[in-house]
Structure 1
């Protein structure tokens, strides 16, 4: 069975930036972005935070890439593929003439090494994504053959994930640790420098396979934890892009001279994570009580200023197989008190919510929750850590409750569901230690089911069961928001949260 994908152009972002005079992208210029937290690592197989991922995606490219609307897949370093009749063998053709930024040609051996490298991490990293793969073969220099243990619906989507990004065979003669200090890939930008806690810089790849790209000479990310400072910097032109301004400043940014504030459709879900390794969060009645006490509509108004929707499922509406009838908790104070009365702490208890300092959105959520939980007999303290330390604490499951969020990286629910509900994965069920064998079994069935209607049935069942277990308290689905100066052209964020900076330019 053939399943070749039509290319239809290589840009997964918006159209290239253009100059006012010629309508053509402006070549050169240095772009500066500011975000709240630093990266963690460039090891694509072991790193889970979005900031690190956004940088990786500019350096190490996958075989397939999501479309600008995040719903389809198109060839990237591959040109197409075929599937055997038993759906267990994929033959993938590679794009010819692609080189790494060091000038070495990319071949099937590099692809095999890159996929095998990710697979070997197993439960410690992103290896769960490739768990169905039996073998990867470099059939010839431009052909890769992947054999599966069983039919696996998400395979092509999985091959579009950053963790399967292509790097040189054998790390180009280096150790993994040496390589990831300054990774090499086929992407539009090349590693330059990293001042931990301060800034990271990439420079243009002069050997990039997309002719004429990238347009920018360099891209720099500055770590600026305070949202108001980032807002003032983009208004003053000290930075070109404010990554995730707070919602309270959106209207003023939209009216600011020389600034474009834009919301992009997303697959993001914001939630409260309960650490089940810490009592009393191993008690479903406790988790349900807290979930039922939250007024999500009030949060939409106070935090998102009306931008977004109440979350009612583990999956977001922009994710395939979302079920609007998933049964996520809604505000019901009487039911919340009844759940607490049945719990191991019927008279209430004291706990702590972890939030990021300098983040007014999380501060507002925390203050609303603090008041709401007090009403049912729970005293909630608020612990603030700077965004980088906060991220590290969540990754280490060092919290009682924590505000967190997820956005899809591929147009298939498996990435998130496997990350969220399977404790054998590197995230230990989104760092909650949630472990329901029935849910794990449903998820595994959904991975292997290729019939869309049957997959929908399975994912609906999974969504309903996770709502009952309340291992997360779903808050809201929010769009992405960015503010740029009007000199920035072609900046586009897909619903999967990624942006490809080869399409971005900056007018003089």
Structure 2
């Protein structure tokens, strides 16, 4: 993006790629959602902790991601200038199905066993201070039942059952090479903390301190390059932030054969056929029912491990008021008022 153009309540005043974008109120904007402030300067941070430090120091007015390391302090630091609200975001572990070790007969038992070796409640309680919720399906509660959300669909496969986890992994032929490596980008999102916690949980469940290893990649760009080049040695950090509130958006882009965000290259004819039928259906309720059947195929194959539903979080300075996050966890900038 070299010359961004806005069509909302702001004009793009200046833009420095990878650094900052300055928006200024467009007084002639014809819409109802006119900006309640003079403009917004959007800054790029490669470390959420640095942004949080700048917020406390008065060098930043709004941080739209509170890092995990600061969650235990945020209410003391900010009081009522802190917001945590449900968002259409799901964190998962994806698998490299282009690797025969993860795509052979019985491997779904290994994936299910790994899922049951993860103590989601302990991780969301301790690492994320209860600001995330253990996932029980592959969508988000933000959808509601009308949008296709199925609470509890994952069943015991998303419950912490270490004895059953060990049994399933053994029945599935064991971990490829005797161990599993979880790859993640280390530059954003507090991923290091939770990946380490997931590995510790797996190691404890399997009584093997070497069963799981965390493998950080320095930047998100390098991480994405390795995914695109199909270099993942095992499960890797994945997830989805919805584009629109419908079950279709959580399934088709991620699991349909050769779909745009199907990074693990999972392919299943039954799933594809159900999605095709759903997309041809003119009755929305019937389409959602077909997508829900497709999600059951994802469950039965453990095409990805759902970890937790992620809330949106934000903290702001005492100069601001009327701060809200939309269902996509993005600040509603035009409603913010500046004193």
TM-score normalized by the length of structure 2:
0.84
**What does residue 310 of structure 1 align with?**
134
**What does residue 505 of structure 1 align with?**
337
Pairing partner for 2:162 from 323, 326, 333: 333
Alignment of 1:120-139 (within 5 A): none
Residue 85 of structure 2 contacts residue 311 of structure 2 at CA under 8 Å; is this kept in 1?
Answer: yes
Question: CA offsets, 1:319-368, max 9 Å, x none?
Answer: 11111241252222233223322335467534432223255742222122
Q: Say whether residues 1:385 and 2:206 are aligned partners.
A: no
* Residues 435 and 255 of structure 1: CA distance in aligned 2, closer, same or farther (over 3 Å): same
**What does residue 82 of structure 1 align with?**
none
**What does residue 251 of structure 2 align with?**
417
Structure number with the higher helix fraction is: 2
Q: Say whether residues 1:297 and 2:121 are aligned partners.
A: yes
Residue 408 of structure 1 contacts residue 415 of structure 1 at CA under 8 Å; is this kept in 2?
Answer: yes
Residue 373 of structure 1 contacts residue 380 of structure 1 at CA under 8 Å; is this kept in 2?
Answer: no
* Residues 273 and 264 of structure 1: CA distance in aligned 2, closer, same or farther (over 3 Å): same
* Residues 374 and 325 of structure 1: CA distance in aligned 2, closer, same or farther (over 3 Å): closer
Alignment of 1:92-241 (within 5 A): 181-210=2-31, 213-241=34-62
Residue 280 of structure 1 contacts residue 344 of structure 1 at CA under 8 Å; is this kept in 2?
Answer: no
Question: CA offsets, 1:259-295, max 9 Å, x none?
Answer: 7110122122111111212342223233222212111
* Residues 184 and 409 of structure 1: CA distance in aligned 2, closer, same or farther (over 3 Å): same
**Which protein has greater RCO, CA pairs closer than 8 Å, 6+ apart?**
2
State the SS of the aligned residue for 1:433: coil
Deviation at 1:226, TM superposition (A): 2.4
Q: Say whether residues 1:321 and 2:148 are aligned partners.
A: yes
**What does residue 264 of structure 2 align with?**
432
Q: Distance in 1 between matches of 2:183 and 2:72?
A: 28
Q: Distance in 1 between matches of 2:332 and 2:78?
A: 26
Question: CA offsets, 1:63-102, max 9 Å, x none?
Answer: xxxxxxxxxxxxxxxxxxxxxxxxxxxxxxxxxxxxxxxx
**What does residue 279 of structure 2 align with?**
447
Residue 124 of structure 2 contacts residue 131 of structure 2 at CA under 8 Å; is this kept in 1?
Answer: yes
Alignment of 1:58-69 (within 5 A): none
* Residues 250 and 346 of structure 1: CA distance in aligned 2, closer, same or farther (over 3 Å): closer
Deviation at 1:234, TM superposition (A): 0.8
**What does residue 240 of structure 2 align with?**
406
Alignment of 1:63-102 (within 5 A): none
Q: Distance in 1 between matches of 2:253 and 2:39?
A: 33
**What does residue 185 of structure 2 align with?**
356
Deviation at 1:391, TM superposition (A): 4.8
State the SS of the aligned residue for 2:87: coil
Aligned length: 326
Q: Distance in 2 between matches of 1:372 and 1:450?
A: 45
Residue 293 of structure 1 contacts residue 336 of structure 1 at CA under 8 Å; is this kept in 2?
Answer: yes
Q: Distance in 2 between matches of 1:437 and 1:280?
A: 20
Deviation at 1:473, TM superposition (A): 0.8
Q: Distance in 2 between matches of 1:346 and 1:306?
A: 31
Task: Name structure 2 gaps, 5 residues minimum.
Answer: none
Task: Name structure 1 gaps, 5 residues minimum.
Answer: 1-41, 43-180
TM-score normalized by the length of structure 1:
0.58
Q: Distance in 2 between matches of 1:310 and 1:392?
A: 29
Residue 300 of structure 1 contacts residue 306 of structure 1 at CA under 8 Å; is this kept in 2?
Answer: yes
CA RMSD of aligned residues (A): 2.7
* Residues 373 and 199 of structure 1: CA distance in aligned 2, closer, same or farther (over 3 Å): same
Residue 423 of structure 1 contacts residue 433 of structure 1 at CA under 8 Å; is this kept in 2?
Answer: yes
